[in-house]
Structure 1
């Protein structure tokens, strides 16, 4: 083992140092995350200042006595920094940044006035709606203080409309109710609407929990340090939370700690609007919510009634519509059910928002990546902090995540009795997600002796389950000291978690998450991909590798969708669909003609037609299954199937016929699809064969001349043929020939379409020729007949353009027209299919303008086909020379004659038919590839079918000497 490897094994913390993870956040993002402020609360200005908090404790109960100057002088002064955002003034002390943290909503400010000061450049006395006064004494240059004051003045004006909604909001805060009733003496004040516990009782025994004593402590704190939107947090605040929050105040304290109270104030009425706007709308999330409603904390009586179920349904449904990326995830119902015991529906809704966004992101996503990642982090902490226990767990193959996953996912609500779970939640909302790891480690630490006796997962689960059910029992029942016997297991759990494992920090969690994040995301993506590929529709022409490649390209095209996180829509809209096809289809890739508006419109029209055909659900979006099914149709190797599908794209009414406008649209679609070959960006097999033939012809001539000059035999083997390295190709020639061929094919298609189209008013056309007898003379009758014939011929010739004489083509006619043209026939047989690259990864096409050069280089690199053609040509010349030699010796001639003995109806085989027959038989489209592939020579078959019936079964040609 090397020195560095040995050192790394002995000092594993070196890995931690090298991989320290700090979230890449801006100053504003860190600021909002630390103080749980809403989005948009960016820092506008900050300045050093001293703060004095002057609470109205010296007021009389009738509220008429002002604060005395002596009380102002005795106020505690904190030095720190003041931050100004669009809706908040935030102060934090410079000592330990926790002795005094004031988060003040500007809407709560009633008056701001300058205060005279001899020691400071500027001082502001801020009076709140509650009568509390805050003195800000700015430290630094005077112009900076004035600048801050002017900006504050502008924001105060902007917040006037928000201040008008403050009284209605305060009616929902229980802390305000306490002050109004006990300080202001308003006896008629009604408590605000709270959670289900107000009606169905709160968990636990209020006497044992000392609810009244805790409530009095919080009342004193509110009176001296403000409340809700103007609360100052100091060490006493954190201590009161650790001691325990009274049930009636728990909902508001959770709101304050999580920052959801700021969201609720900033978005009045949004929760109710979500419910009203989406009432009765179906969704997958709503269906899943209905399945889990009655499985949400069934031990609590409220969730056995319609009232409790309806509240839970409302919150979960509203959140699923607000955040469709998350929608609904199992265990979310458990957490919301716990929140609703202490919160109103609106409070629970906004608290759930911050839970999912700030505290436990990814826990309730579609892939639950946050929970899976934190399980790896937890295992790393167990390995580090409890090495003996971890070694035993690994040795006995105990799956720790089986027992720990529900702790994190349900935030301990399903693991321990509710009265203790909510105490964990108190600290969780105050300290953040590190509390979950601390409590989980404490559970394992306390039960480590029993766990070391477990042999399997079942015993491990039983030990932990029994522990949670006995949290109210004494942790030291056999101790002689009464104080120790009075310590419960839950108290022991809190002490162990937040003192012994206080070393677990947010930075350590970020660090461990960064170490395992990549592995977790890769595992999730692999699992999701394997699952989706398994459930894809059946395909006939796409292989497993094709499907895997299509999957990758599909999700790479949808940049907003994160597979590992399960966020963003996985469906493809039309714009993304165009981008997707441009990555795999030659005819959809960007080209120079895209700058032409007419071409762009033509291209968009065809792609929209294709998109609508693939959109089987008619929702304006394509799923992965839709795309796979659509591509499977496009890449079919069957010629007739490809022709049929293209016809069906334009047969909008599915009547099996295309009218004039549809035929014109179809011709435009063919022009669009063949544009890359018409422009010479790509080449088809006919052009390739032409290049090969020309190269072979040149090489053969050189070989024959060489052999003739040497006087050797023309018997040449494949090994003797070498392709010349200096051969050049006339690219413009082949590009022009290919362009001319495609233009001619398009012209012929339109001409033949209207030529062979069927008229929809044949009866009327027949009636144009009147064959009935007439009393007029023969001359007049003949003249009329000739005129009618001319008129009929004229109308017949222009019927395609005459709207009064509509024509249609059916599928059989369309097939005939395509098969009659070698370019279009080859296009549907091979070219179109080969232009769709579902078998290769997406790469940039840097040589799209050098398609001919690339093909020529390929021919030279692999010259077997050319060499074979060279050999055939040389052998043919040698054979002709040999036969000429024989002919000269015998005095005869080699000729091709028609064997007239084998049939008697030679006269029926006209000269025109012979020419047509020879032309079709000699067509160069039938090549060696077709014979090797076992494909039927279509054009030769049509040539034979063109013969008269009496010749079809005879041998037509024989060779005689």
Structure 2
């Protein structure tokens, strides 16, 4: 059985799940967290208290006994070191907000609630703290609590985050933590009507999203119902984009780590936040996707010129093999542990890791690819991640000298 150990947690790959050998609590991601018992949530003004989902109700409110059993099993995995890890992220978030208050930066009651007005871009830490990423700022506030964000990014670079830390970490790094979606707001979005065509496509795609994962593989399963609610909420709020194929994979990975309202909040930031702008991937004409494919072509020419020429001779376009890499951030094809490791870095540092992984994998297989026909190349690329250790892939990717300004020339030097 294919097995990967991430921070001491045994997570079974899609190949193992497909064979039906194992489908247990350790492949759920979100449920691998410590118990609430004895944990006191703390809060700074303007920052919500951190609480773990009580008995799984946040993620699957309609799952009944199945969810109760799952969460009961998850509490057996609890440990002091895991709790300390979550507390570390909580302290970083509190440091960011406290520094913002000290400098007179607006709380989520004001500017930090920008998403509620429809702009979709919360000036959370990823967009305000780092002037080096070209995200702007306003005078003295441009670098507020930059040190805290650098700490967070260094932690992400050191290795895969434990599953139970990702809820707070991803909310913090995307800025979703500073413009949280309340249960009432999320429930209101559920009551709004969405176009029938969007709903029909969405319902068809539910069964195609992570189809081998225990949470999502069965029709009407708790995971599918949670996914439907999150996608419905996004479609109800963003009328222009609505629902587009590929979005379900983004939402499903988030649901492995957090409750529905939190997953929706992070999804909104990934789609609309100025550091990600995934919304442009799904707009009519796929403008950002077209740009990403051209960037990948130029990187292929720079780092793998022989392979670039071989692909050109065979008329193999990046769109033939890389579109779903960008549209789903590798979640369509890659095993969950690898996807989550890539997402840690994507959420922390932006698009460059997506390109780095693509080049690293093509570089890994270049000797074989140079001797293949078009048909065999496209077959190999479909399984290019198989048999490779996730950390080895990430290590190769991180070693590539690709800077954000190489991808987007308007970005200031890092």
Give the TM-score range, shorter chain.
Answer: 0.5 to 0.7
Of 464, 467, 475, which aligns to 2:381? 464
Pair member with larger Rg: 1
Equivalents in 2 of 1:422, 1:389: separation in Å? 28
**Matched residue, 1:151:** none
Q: Deviations over 1:154-184 (max 9, x none)?
A: xxxxxxxxx6x96xx425x44xx9xxxxxxx
CA contact (8 A) 2:235 2:241 kept: yes
Pairwise CA distance, 1:367: 2.2
Equivalents in 1 of 2:373, 2:85: separation in Å? 48
Which structure has greater strand proportion? 1
CA contact (8 A) 1:247 1:342 kept: yes
**Matched residue, 2:266:** 351
RMSD over aligned Cα, in angstroms? 3.6
Pairwise CA distance, 1:322: 0.7
* TM-score of the two chains, using structure 1 as the length reference: 0.30
Of 220, 230, 244, which aligns to 2:160? 244
**Matched residue, 1:510:** 408
Equivalents in 2 of 1:327, 1:193: separation in Å? 27
Pairwise CA distance, 1:259: 0.9
**Matched residue, 1:497:** 397
Alignment of 1:277-676 (within 5 A): 277-278=192-193, 282-303=195-216, 304=218, 305-358=220-273, 359=276, 360-456=278-374, 458-471=375-388, 489-501=389-401, 503-505=402-404, 507-511=405-409
Equivalents in 2 of 1:333, 1:200: separation in Å? 26
Instruction: Give the secondary structure class of the aligned counterpart of 1:469.
Output: coil
Residues 498 and 194 of structure 1, relative CA distance in 2, 3 Å threshold? farther
Pairwise CA distance, 1:468: 1.4
CA contact (8 A) 2:310 2:370 kept: yes
Pairwise CA distance, 1:490: 2.1
CA contact (8 A) 1:211 1:246 kept: no
Pairwise CA distance, 1:215: 5.0
Equivalents in 2 of 1:419, 1:431: separation in Å? 19
Equivalents in 1 of 2:92, 2:201: separation in Å? 47
CA contact (8 A) 2:55 2:68 kept: no
Residues 335 and 250 of structure 1, relative CA distance in 2, 3 Å threshold? same
Aligned length: 312
CA contact (8 A) 1:214 1:244 kept: no
CA contact (8 A) 2:174 2:347 kept: yes
Q: Deviations over 1:465-494 (max 9, x none)?
A: 4431212xxxxxxxxxxxxxxxxx322211
Residues 490 and 238 of structure 1, relative CA distance in 2, 3 Å threshold? same
CA contact (8 A) 2:156 2:345 kept: yes
**Matched residue, 1:254:** 170
Of 49, 55, 73, which aligns to 1:170? 49
Equivalents in 2 of 1:262, 1:170: separation in Å? 12
CA contact (8 A) 1:200 1:302 kept: no
CA contact (8 A) 1:438 1:504 kept: no
Pairwise CA distance, 1:346: 0.8
Residues 332 and 363 of structure 1, relative CA distance in 2, 3 Å threshold? same
Q: Deviations over 1:743-798 (max 9, x none)?
A: xxxxxxxxxxxxxxxxxxxxxxxxxxxxxxxxxxxxxxxxxxxxxxxxxxxxxxxx
Alignment of 1:221-236 (within 5 A): 222=90, 226=94, 229-230=97-98, 233-236=148-151
CA contact (8 A) 2:56 2:68 kept: no
Instruction: Give the secondary structure class of the aligned counterpart of 1:290.
Output: helix
Instruction: Give the secondary structure class of the aligned counterpart of 1:338.
Output: helix
Equivalents in 2 of 1:467, 1:259: separation in Å? 33
* TM-score of the two chains, using structure 2 as the length reference: 0.66
Q: Deviations over 1:921-959 (max 9, x none)?
A: xxxxxxxxxxxxxxxxxxxxxxxxxxxxxxxxxxxxxxx
**Matched residue, 2:28:** none
Pairwise CA distance, 1:308: 1.5
CA contact (8 A) 1:338 1:413 kept: yes
Equivalents in 1 of 2:49, 2:236: separation in Å? 27
CA contact (8 A) 1:218 1:240 kept: no
CA contact (8 A) 2:236 2:242 kept: yes
CA contact (8 A) 2:296 2:318 kept: no
Pairwise CA distance, 1:496: 1.6
Pairwise CA distance, 1:397: 2.3
Pairwise CA distance, 1:402: 1.2
Instruction: Give the secondary structure class of the aligned counterpart of 2:330.
Output: coil
Greater relative contact order, per chain length (Cα 8 Å cut-off, separation 6+): 2
Instruction: Give the secondary structure class of the aligned counterpart of 1:467.
Output: coil
Instruction: Give the secondary structure class of the aligned counterpart of 1:362.
Output: helix
Equivalents in 2 of 1:129, 1:410: separation in Å? 34
Residues 218 and 273 of structure 1, relative CA distance in 2, 3 Å threshold? closer
Give structure 1 stretches of 5+ with no counterpart: 1-60, 64-127, 131-162, 178-189, 472-488, 514-961
